[in-house]
Amino acid sequence: MENFDDAITIFEEIIEIDSAQGRVLSNLGSIYYYQGDFEQSIKYFKEAEKYTPQSYNLYWSQGRSYYWAGEQSAANEALSKAISIVKQSSPELVLNIASYYGLMNMVDSAEYYLDACNLSGHPEDLDATEALLLGELYLILDRESIAFKYIESSLSRGFGWLDVRHSPLYKQLAQNRKFQEMIARSEKAME
């Protein structure tokens, strides 16, 4: 289990020394996101904006926090800022945009950005980050069997465990037998 409390203590000590630590504030926001405390998460992401106003990741994370907090308008605003910051079309950034549209039930837009990624059809051909992001997108688009292949590929390479254990996206799968089997296979591959 990740030790979030120790991380919070360390990051708060850094903030006491130098409050202009946008990355540290953003990390605190991420910790609270993974703990399910979206209000606290949003607070730290908003504070981090002062120091890293051109951070795509900051606005993407903030938008996800707003989304899971049920604040759709604020989620749209933050995620729209993230999209406007994207100047180069790396597959990871485009996958995040596709996921945003998927979460907003804008399936046509999600499909458009998924196609724009132009990624391989095989999970093992992607790096672990891309495999996880693509798996999450397929999960959002209700393509569970395809999603699990990509997520498993990422997890078996050691990437994505924090998301799978703590992101609200995966909580609905806690009782899903196929998902639990996929987790067990991934853990075994890590041994």
Return the half-sphere exposure (C-beta side, CA atoms, 13 A cut-off) of residue 78.
25
In sequence order, what are the residues at sequence separation of 6 or more whose Cβ sits closer than 8 angstroms to the Cβ of residue 105? Answer: none
In sequence order, what are the residues at sequence separation of 6 or more whose Cβ sits closer than 8 angstroms to the Cβ of residue 189? Answer: 155, 156
Q: Mind listing the pLDDT tens digit for each residue in 62-118?
A: 999 999 999 999 999 998 888 877 755 577 788 888 888 898 898 998 898 888 777
CATH class of 1-85: mainly alpha
The predicted model scores a pTM of: 0.60
The domain limits of the chain are 1-85, 89-191
pLDDT at 2 over 80: no
Nearest 5°: the CA angle 10, 14, 19 is 140
Contact 136, 4 (CB under 8 A): no
Q: Residue 31's CB: how many other CB atoms inside 10 A?
A: 20
Q: Mind listing the pLDDT tens digit for each residue in 147-190?
A: 999 999 999 888 888 888 888 888 888 888 998 898 888 888 87
